[in-house]
Amino acid sequence: MTDTTTAAQVTITGRNVEVPEHFSDRVKGKLSKIERLDPTLTFFHVELQHEPNPRRDAQSERIQITATGKGHIARAEAKEDSFYAALETAMAKMERSLRKVKVRREATKSGHRARKGTGELAAEIVADAEAAREDQREERYVDPYAETIE
């Protein structure tokens, strides 16, 4: 099932599970919020799967969301007792991941240059501190009467 009414294409598939229409509408509504976080995402693939292991009954419903965009891929997976709970968990993971990526993009100074590492920053701080100490030593040993004697 594919939706082309939004900017991004959404495909929802079920592995040995039939996807109800109301669930696919809910998924599309949730993914529209994700699209606002990162407008470069153009394709979403949502896969539902039921794992029939009786020992893992509390985590029998698995949902996997893969978002493909211009140059990057975001992916989130969750296992819960229902597809709705798994959807909420996976969406929270996807949202957190995209927010982290957004912060990293904003933190870079320009294009290809990344921020300085902690080692470089520590070396600069040490060099600045030593320069400040040298300036204080020079000022400390200056004779205030040296100019008036000459």
Which CATH entry fits the domain spanning 2-107: 3.60.10.10, 3.30.160.100, 3.40.50.720, 3.90.1150.10?
Answer: 3.30.160.100
48, 63 Cβ separation under 8 angstroms = yes
Q: What is the per-residue pLDDT across 67-78, written as a single tens digit (0 to 9) for each? A: 888 877 888 898
What is the 3-state secondary structure of 4-66?
CCCCCEEEEEEECCCCCHHHHHHHHHHHHHHHHHCCCEEEEEEEEEECCCHHHHHHCEEEEEE
3-state secondary structure at position 17:
coil
pTM to 2 decimal places: 0.60
Domain boundaries, given as residue ranges, for the chain: 2-107, 118-142
Residue 16 above 80 pLDDT?
A: no
> What confidence score (pLDDT) does residue 112 get?
59
What mean pLDDT value characterizes the chain?
78
